[in-house]
């Protein structure tokens, strides 16, 4: 066996490697079954503590790895390495072993090793006599040919793609596309009928309905066609490990910088932020490759103190998670799971350690909640730190930049002595008179700080209330970003947003299931999903405004249809940036060639390249932008990095630079996420949608009706701002021709959907007006018209059914999405349009209120709370007038006789369509136990009174004789 190549692991086919004493690693001292240290640790972590061959329990090696024995002669090792070189296996090890060949080829051999071999042979013979023949065959050594095949298969698996596109089945997609085309044809015939058959008796109502219906059809086209080619993707984490995590070698996985942003700790509870940070620190990824940056944009001492407590608790929590493979690794959500926590946990010590950890976490919560209670009332003199000095952030609008490194390479280790990921607190400088650009400005500050301190090639940003639910989520993203083929032109990997704390019925469509499971899958088949603000892993180079390495070929005509075609290879801005990058690269190279140069000469050379106009006045940061694979520049002075990091977060650093214009998070909209992703994809970058079986991240959704409407208002206002800006997808980014047309349609849909509120409000009012006036927007239907209406409704239903079939979304989720589209459209979207016009015409800017993240003690308690807001007025009005209209319609029918019931059906149908869609709003308006706010009752009574007066004026129960009969009566009277 020893001569047949047992130097290689029988599990993964890699070399066994050496232990801490420099001897060949041995797992089982009974049968000396060849297994490498990585596979051994994997078996231990999986709970299998017995040898794979002889079933002998492994020795306890978790605490003491020094008690290992060599099972192979060094000369044999050298011979096997030479054999492996001859056959072309593991050729990358040739240079590393060539320096020790003289020691390995010692002819005298090792007497200790010979004794161990003899003792092993004697034990092996005794075991063979005791065991039956079938078992002896199972214990036979693996032939060298078979072992070579296994090693070759392992190498082949490592060379395979790290991800795979799984197209939707043609049996599901072909009918879906066919129905879309059929529905488009029916729409054309329907509008031909509607336009050519006006209603003269209600011309104003008819014209209004035609305009609304045309807009709805246009919105449907914008929403439907980007879903033409949906795809699924699968990532192979095992192949990623085979390729970049070789046993006995340092991990080659790329480093990742995590960004967590928070503003107000009283609205975004520190305990939720702490859980997010803890889940990041415990992620399943090499600790030296992970850094967590927490941005406190409110400069609150409460956030800082809670982060201090979090760093201390992480020393206990992180090793516990990794030891027992805990999921999820946010303690609040792990301990609140209603599952059997003993499932798949076979370690005897697990129950004891879990109980102890739960007690530790409860004590941690008490300390954090005590800090929160203390922070409810700010002292008159401001907060004071432990050393007696005043807290620099007492004035949240006027304070210096602050950076504190808690954990990391030079920080505290965990309770087992292992290294922890780096944790950095950042609060950028703020001064009066400077524009800080809210969340986008905070994210850009984190980009610069992380580039100076760690400069990981990839960035993962999370909101403070989104924790890591899948510890392998980063590895899932790396399967795309580190793939040599897929990751070359990849700007980011977007994960879907999933939420906790939502009732089963999802009354207000907080989960956004249709958007994340339907629309985003469709975009993934074109140029990639949009950036949705959180749960996204970025390529840092894409954030710097660079174009992808392999530029897409430009079409012959890259201008719009109204302009003459011009042959272009690159737009001017891209050529300028690429040329500037080459110049700066040459300048830095020349600097490194100079033996004796001072900092002044260095800064002068770089300033000549004018890169300060793009990235700002920081030579360290500018050099870091050239390092595509990350890492700190060689010329960086570690003792000066913190000082440089303070400099790049100063309030005036971005003045007269390209930050927020061409690089980093883009300014100009409260929805900076859409704008940032749009700019990247206009440069030719692609994105990927990653949906692992276990959700990667989970967050807390604002389930309260008022908070939900304010959240939708913020999104809609951001879209309106983009519509009125120079970055509007209707006209921006045509020069390069790198944004695909279906992708452009999707971005156009994201900025014009708030304007649908205007025709939607009008269309929801029409049924009530028709019922009150006795008129209708549709003339008497012919057979052809009836067939068109029936075909239109059937096509809508079939499209939805086929969409549900390939996406996996439930019909309840689709219906909730449809309902809240109407609720949000007639309230939040309507206000967003008017606020957008005010900002454009009068310069009136609206302030964004952070939605509360905490709920009441009772389950879904926040769902029943009503907070008065003007957004509640339009939906309330629509519900009342449609209910009044239904009553008026039935009154007219009772008074008019049998003939009036036929026209009533169409009017009542549309009125009930409005009421059914607004039903969740009505239910939320009533609150728990029908406790409706007084102002809502007063508003409803006022509206009901107005419509009652109008109704009395109409006099529905009095017959209306026509003018002809009146004139005939007058003639017959002899005056």
Q: CA-CA distance, 149 to 126, in Å (whole number)? A: 31
Spatial CB neighbours of 286, under 8 Å, sequence gap ≥ 6: 251, 253
Q: Is the pLDDT of residue 948 over 70?
A: no
Quote the percentage of the chain above a pLDDT of 70.
Answer: 70
**What pLDDT score does 582 carry?**
54
Q: Is 86 annotated as a binding residue?
A: no
Q: Is residue 128 part of a domain?
A: no
Which residues have C-beta within 8 Å of that of residue 954, sequence separation ≥ 6?
772, 773, 888
CB 679 within 8 A of CB 538: no
Split at pLDDT 50, 70, 90, the class of 352 is confident
Rounded CA separation 429/443 (Å) = 13
C-beta contacts of 895-903 below 8 A and 24+ residues apart: 895/956, 895/957, 895/959, 903/776
Q: What's the domain count of the chain? A: 3
pTM above 0.85, yes or no: no
Which whole-number Å values give the CA distances from 854 to 296, 298, 335, in the listed order? 18, 18, 18
Distance CA 116, CA 122 (A): 10
| Phi, psi (rounded to 5 degrees) for 614 | -100, -50
pLDDT of residue 101: 32
How is the beta sheet containing 686-689 ordered, strand by strand? 402-407, 422-427, 290-296, 256-262, 458-463, 536-539, 490-494, 686-689
What CATH number did the domain enclosing 4 receive?
3.30.40.10
307 pLDDT band, cuts 50/70/90, is very high
The predicted structure's pLDDT at residue 949: 59
Could you tell me if residue 862 is inside a domain? Answer: yes
pLDDT tens readout for residues 697-714? 998 877 778 888 888 898
Q: Which of 586, 578, 585 is nearest to 546 (CA)?
A: 578
Place of tokens 């169409």: 906
745 and 674: one domain?
no
Cis peptide before 328 (omega within 30 of 0): yes
Distances (CA, A) of 137 to 31, 132, 140, 876, 885: 15, 9, 5, 80, 86
Question: In this structure, are strands 458-463 and 536-539 parallel, antiparallel, or unpaired?
Answer: antiparallel
- Window from 131-145, 188-202, 239-253 with minimum mean pLDDT: 131-145
- Alpha carbon distance 157, 152 (integer Å): 9
Residue 806 has pLDDT above 70, yes or no: yes
What is the C-alpha to C-alpha distance for residues 907 and 926, in angstroms, rounded to an integer?
A: 27
Mean pLDDT of 527-537: 91
State the CB neighbour count (10 A cutoff) for residue 691.
20
User: Could you give the CA distance from residue 781 to residue 190 in angstroms, rounded to a whole number?
Assistant: 12
Which residues fall within 8 angstroms of residue 209, CB to CB, at 6 or more apart? 763, 766, 777
pLDDT band at 861 (very low <50, low <70, confident <90, very high): low
Same domain flag for 819 and 897: yes
Phi–psi pair at 423, nearest 5 degrees: -125, 125
Name the residue with higher pLDDT: 687 or 588.
687
Query: Considering only CA atoms, which of 736, 732, 618, 615 is closest in space to residue 664?
Result: 615
CA angle 379, 381, 386 (to 5 degrees): 80
Under a CB-based contact definition with an 8 Å cutoff, are residues 311 and 412 in contact?
yes
Mean per-residue pLDDT, 82-101: 29
Residue 214 has pLDDT above 80, yes or no: yes
Q: Give the pLDDT band (50/70/90) at residue 617.
A: confident
Helices (H), 753-872: 757-773, 783-807, 811-825, 828-842
144 pLDDT band, cuts 50/70/90, is low
Least confident of 292-296, 488-492, 535-539, 572-576: 572-576
Q: Look at phi and psi of residue 509 and say left if phi exceeds 0, alpha if psi is from -120 to 50, else beta.
A: left
Alpha-helical runs (H) found in 538-615: 540-543, 572-593, 599-608, 612-615
3-state secondary structure of 143: coil
In a domain, 709, yes or no: no
Strands (E), 222-362: 231-235, 256-262, 290-296
The residues with which 412 forms a beta bridge, in sequence order, are 407
Residues 804 and 696 in one domain: no
Alpha helices by DSSP H, 27-143: 37-45, 74-86, 94-97, 101-104, 111-130, 133-138
Going from the C-alpha of 195 to that of each of 208, 332, 623, 778, 910, the distances in angstroms are 12, 60, 64, 11, 20
C-alpha to C-alpha distance for 545 and 660, rounded to whole angstroms: 10
**Looking at the predicted structure, is the pLDDT value of residue 849 above 90?**
no
> Closest Cα to residue 461, out of 261, 244, 701?
261
| DSSP state at residue 688 | E
Please say whether the dihedral angle defined by the alpha carbons of residues 262, 265, 267 and 270, taken in this order, is positive or negative. positive
CA 965 to chain centre: 71
Q: Are both 695 and 743 inside the same structural domain?
A: no
398 is in an annotated binding site: no
- Asked if 267 and 852 count as a contact pair (C-beta separation under 8 A), the reply is yes
Does the annotation place 323 within a ligand binding site? no
pLDDT at position 665 is 92
Reference 374, options 303, 302, 299; nearest CA is: 302
The residue out of 676, 701, 726 marking a domain boundary is 701
| Residues pairing with 258 in the sheet | 292, 460
Instruction: Give the confidence band of 68 by pLDDT, cuts at 50, 70, 90.
Output: very low
Q: What is the mean pLDDT of residues 569-597?
A: 48
Is the pLDDT score of 316 beyond 70? yes
Query: What's the rounded Cα separation, in Å, for the pair 875 and 852?
Result: 23
Q: What is the DSSP string of 878-930?
A: HHHHHHHHHHHHHHHHHHH-GGGHHHHHHHHHHHHHHHHHTHHHHHHHH-GGG
Position 569 confidence tier, pLDDT thresholds 50, 70, 90: very low
pLDDT 10s digits, 746-770: 999 999 999 999 999 999 988 888 8
Range of lowest pLDDT (1-10, 736-745, 882-891): 1-10
The verdict on residue 114 lying in a domain is: no
Q: Is 154 within 8 Å of 242 (Cβ atoms)?
A: yes
Q: pLDDT band for position 102 (50/70/90)?
A: very low
Is the pLDDT assigned to residue 458 strictly greater than 90? yes
Indicate which residue of 19, 257, 297, 414 is catalytic: 297
Task: For residue 361, give the CATH number of its domain.
Answer: 3.90.550.10
DSSP 254: P
Q: Residue 532's closest CA among 477, 486, 463? A: 463
User: Per-residue pLDDT for 680 more than 80?
Assistant: yes
- Backbone dihedral region of 53: left (phi > 0), alpha (psi from -120 to 50 degrees) or beta? alpha
- For residue 322, pLDDT over 70 is answered with yes
Q: CA 38 to CA 16: how far, in whole Å?
A: 9
Contact 333, 698 (CB under 8 A): yes
pLDDT at 476: 93
What pLDDT is recorded for position 367? 92
Given the residues 296, 489, 673, 862, the one annotated as active site: 673
* Exposed/middle/buried for residue 337 (C-beta within 10 Å: 0-12, 13-18, 19+): exposed
Write the DSSP string, 629-674. T----TT--GGGHHHHHHHHTSTTTTTTSSBTTTBSSPPSSS-HHH
Is 712 inside a domain boundary?
no
Amino acid 274: pLDDT = 93
Residues 694 and 760 reside in one and the same domain:
no
The confidence score (pLDDT) of residue 168 equals 85
As a whole number of angstroms, the distance between CA 44 and CA 56 comes to 13
Q: Is the pLDDT of residue 405 over 50?
A: yes
Contacts of 757 (CB under 8 A, 6+ apart): 825, 826, 829, 830, 832, 833
Of 76-90, 113-127, 573-587, 924-938, the range with the lowest mean pLDDT is: 76-90
- Whether pLDDT at 473 is above 90: yes
Among 51-65, 182-196, 730-744, the range with the most confident prediction by mean pLDDT is 182-196
* pLDDT greater at residue 134 or residue 701: 701
Check whether residue 413 and residue 305 sit in a common domain. yes
Rounded to whole angstroms, how far apart are CA atoms 277 and 280? Answer: 5
Asked if 874 and 759 sit in the same domain, the reply is: yes
What pLDDT was estimated at residue 363? 93
Q: Are residues 687 and 801 in the same domain?
A: no
- Does residue 691 sit in the same domain as residue 779? no
Which among 648, 682, 701 is the end of a domain? 701
Please check whether residue 828 is in contact with residue 709, taking contact to mean a CB–CB distance below 8 angstroms: yes
Among 34, 60, 86, give the residue marking a domain's end.
60
Q: What is the mean pLDDT of residues 571-584?
A: 49
Return the pLDDT at 78: 30
Q: Residue 341: give the domain boundaries.
A: 238-376+384-549+660-701
Q: Is the pLDDT of residue 487 over 70?
A: yes
Instruction: Say whether 439 counts as a known binding-site residue.
Output: yes
503 noted as active-site residue: no
In a domain, 570, yes or no: no
pLDDT for the residue 136: 38
**353, containing H or E segment:** helix 350-374
**Quick one: which of 602, 824, 619, 815 has its CA closest to 707?**
824
Please report which helix (H) or strand (E) contains residue 163, including its range: strand 163-167
What pLDDT does 462 receive?
93
Band (1; pLDDT cuts 50, 70, 90): very low
Q: Are residues 770 and 866 in the same domain?
A: yes
The answer to whether the CB of 516 falls within 8 A of the CB of 496 is: yes
Residues 6 or more apart whose Cβ sits within 8 Å of residue 844? 835, 838
Please tell me whether residues 666 and 738 are part of one structural domain. Answer: no
Instruction: Find the mean pLDDT for residues 19-25.
Output: 72
693 and 834 fall within a common domain: no
Query: Is there a catalytic annotation at residue 344?
Result: no
In the chain, the percentage of residues whose pLDDT exceeds 90 is 21
Phi, then psi, of 108 in degrees rounded to 5 = -70, -25
> Do the annotations mark residue 261 as ligand-binding?
yes
225 vs 743: CA distance, rounded Å: 10
Q: What separation in angstroms does the CA of 676 have from each of 294, 488, 532, 545, 662?
A: 21, 19, 10, 10, 9
267 carries a ligand binding annotation: yes
């Amino acid at each position: 066996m020893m001569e047949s190549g047992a130097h290689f692991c029988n599990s993964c086919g890699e070399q066994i490697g050496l232990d801490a004493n420099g001897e060949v690693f041995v797992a089982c001292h009974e049968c000396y079954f060849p297994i490498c240290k990585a596979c051994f640790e994997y078996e231990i972590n999986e709970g299998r503590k017995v040898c794979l061959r002889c079933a002998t329990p492994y020795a306890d090696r978790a605490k003491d790895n020094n008690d290992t024995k060599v099972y192979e002669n060094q000369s044999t090792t050298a011979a096997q390495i030479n054999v492996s070189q001859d056959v072309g296996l593991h050729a990358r090890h040739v240079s590393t072993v060539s320096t020790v060949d003289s020691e390995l080829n010692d002819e005298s051999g090792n007497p200790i090793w010979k004794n161990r071999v003899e003792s092993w042979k004697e034990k092996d013979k005794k075991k063979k006599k005791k065991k039956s023949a079938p078992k002896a065959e199972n214990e036979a050594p693996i032939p060298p040919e078979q072992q070579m095949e296994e090693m070759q298969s392992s190498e082949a698996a490592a060379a395979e793609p790290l991800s795979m596109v799984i197209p939707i089945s043609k049996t599901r997609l072909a009918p879906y596309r066919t129905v879309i085309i059929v529905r488009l044809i029916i729409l054309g015939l329907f509008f031909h009928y509607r336009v050519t058959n006006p209603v003269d008796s209600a011309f104003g109502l008819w014209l209004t309905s035609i305009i609304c219906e045309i807009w709805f059809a246009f919105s449907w086209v914008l929403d439907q066609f980007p879903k033409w080619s949906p795809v699924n993707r699968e990532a192979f984490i095992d192949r990623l490990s085979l390729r970049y995590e070789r046993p006995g070698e340092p991990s080659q996985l790329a480093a990742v910088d995590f960004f967590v942003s928070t503003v107000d700790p009283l609205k975004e509870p520190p305990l939720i932020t702490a859980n997010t940070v803890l889940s990041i620190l415990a992620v399943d990824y090499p600790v030296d490759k992970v850094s967590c940056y927490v941005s406190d944009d409110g400069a609150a001492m409460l956030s800082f103190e809670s982060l201090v407590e979090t760093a201390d608790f992480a020393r206990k929590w992180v090793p516990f998670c990794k030891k027992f493979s805990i999921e999820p690794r946010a303690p609040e959500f792990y301990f609140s799971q209603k599952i059997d926590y003993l499932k798949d946990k076979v370690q005897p010590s697990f129950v004891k350690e879990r109980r102890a950890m739960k007690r530790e976490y409860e004590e941690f919560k008490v300390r954090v909640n005590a800090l929160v209670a203390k922070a409810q009332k700010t002292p008159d003199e401001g907060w004071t730190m432990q050393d007696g000095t005043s807290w620099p952030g007492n004035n949240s609008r006027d304070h210096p930049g602050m950076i504190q490194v808690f954990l990391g390479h030079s920080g505290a280790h965990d309770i087992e002595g292992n290294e922890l990921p780096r944790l950095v607190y950042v609060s950028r400088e703020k001064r009066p008179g400077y524009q800080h650009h809210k969340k986008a400005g905070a994210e850009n500050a984190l980009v610069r700080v992380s580039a100076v301190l760690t400069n990981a090639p990839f960035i993962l940003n999370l909101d403070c209330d989104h924790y890591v639910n899948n510890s392998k989520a980063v590895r899932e993203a790396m399967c795309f970003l580190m793939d040599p083929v897929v990751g070359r032109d990849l700007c980011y990997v977007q994960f879907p947003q999933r939420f906790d704390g939502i009732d089963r019925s999802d009354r207000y469509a907080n989960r956004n299931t249709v958007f994340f499971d339907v629309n985003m899958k469709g975009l993934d088949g074109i140029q990639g999903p949009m950036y949705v603000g959180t749960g996204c892993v970025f390529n840092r180079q894409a954030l710097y405004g660079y174009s992808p390495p392999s530029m897409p070929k430009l079409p012959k005509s890259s201008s719009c249809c109204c302009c003459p075609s011009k042959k272009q290879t690159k737009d001017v801005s891209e050529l300028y940036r690429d040329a500037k990058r080459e110049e700066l690269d040459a300048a830095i190279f020349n600097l490194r060639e100079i033996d004796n140069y001072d900092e002044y000469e260095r800064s002068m050379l770089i300033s000549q390249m004018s890169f300060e106009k793009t990235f700002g006045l920081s030579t360290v940061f500018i050099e870091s932008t050239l390092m595509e694979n990350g890492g700190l520049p060689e010329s960086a002075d570690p003792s000066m990095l913190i000082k440089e990091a303070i400099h790049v977060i100063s309030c005036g650093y971005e003045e007269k630079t390209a930050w927020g214009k061409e690089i980093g998070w883009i300014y100009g909209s409260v929805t900076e996420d859409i704008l940032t992703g749009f700019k990247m994809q206009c440069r030719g970058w692609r994105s990927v949608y990653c949906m692992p079986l276990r959700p990667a991240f989970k967050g807390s959704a604002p389930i309260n009706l008022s908070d939900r409407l304010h959240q939708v208002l913020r999104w809609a206002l951001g879209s309106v701002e983009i519509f009125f800006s120079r970055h509007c997808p209707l006209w921006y980014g045509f020069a390069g021709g790198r944004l695909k047309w279906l992708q452009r349609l999707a971005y156009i849909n994201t900025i014009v959907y708030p304007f649908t509120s205007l025709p939607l409000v009008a269309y929801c009012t029409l049924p009530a007006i028709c019922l009150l006036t006795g008129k209708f927007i549709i003339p008497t239907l012919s057979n052809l018209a009836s067939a068109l209406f029936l075909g239109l409704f059937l096509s809508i239903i079939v499209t939805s059914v086929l969409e549900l079939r390939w996406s996996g979304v439930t019909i309840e989720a689709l219906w909730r999405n449809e309902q809240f589209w109407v609720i949000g459209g007639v309230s939040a979207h309507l206000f967003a349009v008017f606020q957008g016009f005010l900002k454009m015409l009068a310069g009136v800017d609206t302030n964004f209120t952070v939605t509360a993240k905490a709920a009441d003690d009772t389950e879904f308690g926040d769902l029943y709370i009503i907070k008065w807001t003007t957004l509640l007025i339009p939906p309330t009005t629509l519900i009342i007038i449609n209910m009044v209209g239904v009553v008026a319609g039935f009154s007219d029918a009772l008074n008019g006789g049998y003939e009036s019931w036929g026209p009533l059906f169409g009017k009542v149908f549309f009125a009930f369509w409005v009421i059914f869609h607004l039903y969740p709003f009505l239910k939320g308006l009533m609150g728990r136990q029908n406790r409706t706010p007084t102002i809502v009752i007063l508003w409803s009574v006022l509206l009901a009174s107005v419509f009652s007066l109008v109704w009395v004026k109409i006099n529905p129960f009095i017959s209306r004789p026509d003018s002809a009969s009146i004139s005939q009566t007058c003639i017959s009277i002899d005056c």
